Amino acid sequence: MKSLSIKILLLYICAIGLVFDAKAEGDDPVSMVINTTDGIFSEVNDNLEAYQANPADLQALVRSDLLPILDLHYSARLILGRAGRGIEKDKVDAFAEAMINLLVSRYADSLLQFRSTEQLWVMPQRGELNEKLTRVRTRVRLPQGGEAPVDYAFHKTPEGWKAFDIMVEGISYVTTYRNQIMPEVQAKGIDSVIERLNSGEMKLAD
Amino acid sequence: MQNKPAVFFAILLSLLLSACAGTQNRHTDPVNDPWEGLNRKTYAFNDGLDKAIVRPVAVAYDKVMPDPAKRGVGNFFRNLDAPVTYFNQLFQGKIGQSGATLARFFINSTIGLLGFFDVATKWGIPYYNEDLGQTLATWGIKKSPYLVLPFLGPSSGRDGIGRLGDSFLHPVGRAIHKRGVWGYWIFRGIDTRARYLDQDADLREAYDPYVLMRDVWLQNREYQIYDGNPPMADYDLYLEESYPEPESESGTEKPESSAE
């Protein structure tokens, strides 16, 4: 078992420090993974000092570049599971928003720490794209040697393809958070969980 | 001569048997973890041992050893696992891959100075990791109840038996069965523990550390068994259990409705 903080760190790495031979074209899931990570990386690389001086700008960049390809409200639904039943819509939205904010700020923080030299490969796609669930498999080369497998789960929404889960070495972000957050919501209530998320403590991602 | 594995086996067996009796506590995952009651007790035991002895020793080891030395020690232990991987690749019919493992073992044991240097990786020879638990899985035991082993940590019924079998394939494991070379395994345990120090915060702060450890282990194990291409999570089931989509809110469900 390698734990989640490593996993999540790896997720960050795949969005940064990527070197690609060619820009991919199109709006299929594979191109989206490549273009988005590549775009964020070169932007950060070009203006590193400015972003270090002003992390809020970086969070804004991550928000504007990364969020469009993620379906985090869908992720939030999967994570909340039955614990979300009977909870008002605005509470659920607040929960999803709290998770998004936290992930964005963590992601931005780690962008400043990990730079260049890492490489990412996208594995050949098996079979055809399934609109309900398509897996994009990638490999990230780690700074200390070796590589880590990072897979993305995409589905097609009215707004196009969106990623809603990430698996590092087979460990799913949605499944793992779900099994922690569902019982917590059931025991303590959604308000206390939202409050904890907003206070910046993401228990699983420290 | 053979009494040490026999003792280990007796512990394992008594665990399996007593597991059948003590299952009435919590059931967070009845499918994968029917022995949760017992597992939580073993987990608490391991956790106490970790806090009192194992972790402090691992922290000291981590501080004292320079990084290159740590890497070398890790390579050394990993190299000695190669025979286990090799035989299990044969058991699984992965003949081509087993050749690579054999080549790795000979290159790293000689040119790599007893395995401290991973020369084979630099030469582009792929690394594989197989064990008897994975072999049993490919032979048909796909699912096996989660089982926390005393001292050893997360495992399953299948993988507990697998570990025992693998110890006969492991070069130092064989020496243990003959002479009791426990120092090797204690050193190895400390080395392994030291690699997970960074993750302690996750566990400590998790809402349910036991469940976090279990989920991460089970998912990662599945990933190994399927050689990196496991079936994905059952998102449809997650969705079915989920609250209704915002648009289709009918308001039929009351707050505090009978979840569970």
Distance between CA atoms of residues A62 and A58, nearest Å: 6
For the record, the structure tokens of A159 come out as 């707004």
Restricting to B residues 209-228, those with a Cβ less than 8 Å away from any Cβ of A are 211-213, 215-217, 219-220, 222-224, 228
Place of tokens 């700020």: A105
**What phi-psi label fits residue B148: left (phi over 0), alpha (psi between -120 and 50 degrees) or beta?**
beta
Q: Alpha-carbon distance B211 to B216, whole Å?
A: 8
B 25-64: CB under 8 A from A? 28-29
Average pLDDT value for residue range A25-52 = 78
| pLDDT, greater one: B61 or A37 | B61
Tokens for B74, please give them.
């890790």
Distance CA A14, CA A66 (A): 12
Encode pLDDT of B81-98 as tens digits: 999 999 999 999 999 898
Measured CA to CA, the distance from residue B189 to residue B185 in angstroms comes to 6
pTM value? 0.76
Report residue B2 as tokens: 């053979």
CA distance B178 to chain A (A): 30
Report which DSSP code applies to A26: S
The answer to whether A80 faces chain B, any CB pair under 8 Å, is yes
Cα–Cα dist B182/B173, whole Å: 9
Size of interface A-B (CB pairs under 8 A): 139
Query: Alpha-carbon torsion A48, A52, A57, A60, what sign?
Result: positive
Instruction: Specify the CATH superfamily of domain A6-199.
Output: Tgt2/MlaC (3.10.450.710)
Mapped onto helix, strand or coil, the DSSP state of residue B48 is helix
CB contact under 8 A, A181 and B211: no
Name every chain A residue with its beta carbon within 8 A of the beta carbon of B202: 3-5, 203-206
Residue-range domain boundaries for chain A:
6-199
Question: B17 — contact with chain A (CB < 8 Å)?
Answer: no
- Report the pLDDT value the prediction gives residue A50, as an integer from 0 to 100: 84
Identify which of A43-57, A143-157, B44-58, B114-128 has the greatest average pLDDT.
B44-58
ipTM: 0.72
Nearest chain B residue to A92 by CA: give it: B246
Is the distance from CB of B78 to CB of B116 less than 8 angstroms? no
